[in-house]
Amino acid sequence: MAHNIELGRRGELVAAEHLEARGMRVVDRNWRCAFGEIDLVLRDGDRTVFAEVKTRTGPAFGHPFEAITAQKLGRLRRLALAWCEANEHPTARIRIDAVAVHAPAGAPAVVEHLEGIG
């Protein structure tokens, strides 16, 4: 369990660095409320982006994006609205993205980023 938590934190750090290198700015990390947790909240121009980060060390459990089900996407939408309400932030320009981090032991991480998944 501790290994999974550490892997997830590493993946979120790699994802944040990747997105910042592409001009986005991290606004919040690991924001929690009664509905769950948002991994990363970022600004991309005039949009607020809510990013779900999934990290894997190998293919044994499938591609990281496969873990983002329709149920998970619905929860991400509720979380995004809750974050906007808690931060008195307008919801007109929001986007939900997915970030897959492939982090095999002893090799550099590879990042895939899908914009606007839902």
CA 104 to chain centre: 19
Q: Return the pLDDT at 1.
A: 57
The 10s digit of each residue's pLDDT in 58-117 is 888 899 999 999 999 999 999 999 999 999 888 789 999 999 999 988 889 999 999 999
> Comparing C-alpha atoms, which of 61, 67, 55 is closest to residue 102?
55
Long-range pairs of 104-109 with CB within 8 A, sequence gap ≥ 24: 104/57, 104/58, 105/57, 109/10, 109/11, 109/14
Question: Is-contact 19 50, C-beta < 8 A?
Answer: no
pLDDT for the residue numbered 27: 96
pTM exceeding 0.85: yes
Tokens of 53: 């980060």
pLDDT higher at 92 or 17: 17
**CB neighbourhood size of 77 (10 A):** 14
Average pLDDT score over residue span 28-47: 96
Q: What is the pLDDT, as a whole number, of residue 92? A: 82
Where along the chain do its domains lie? 2-114
CATH of domain 2-114: 3.40.1350.10
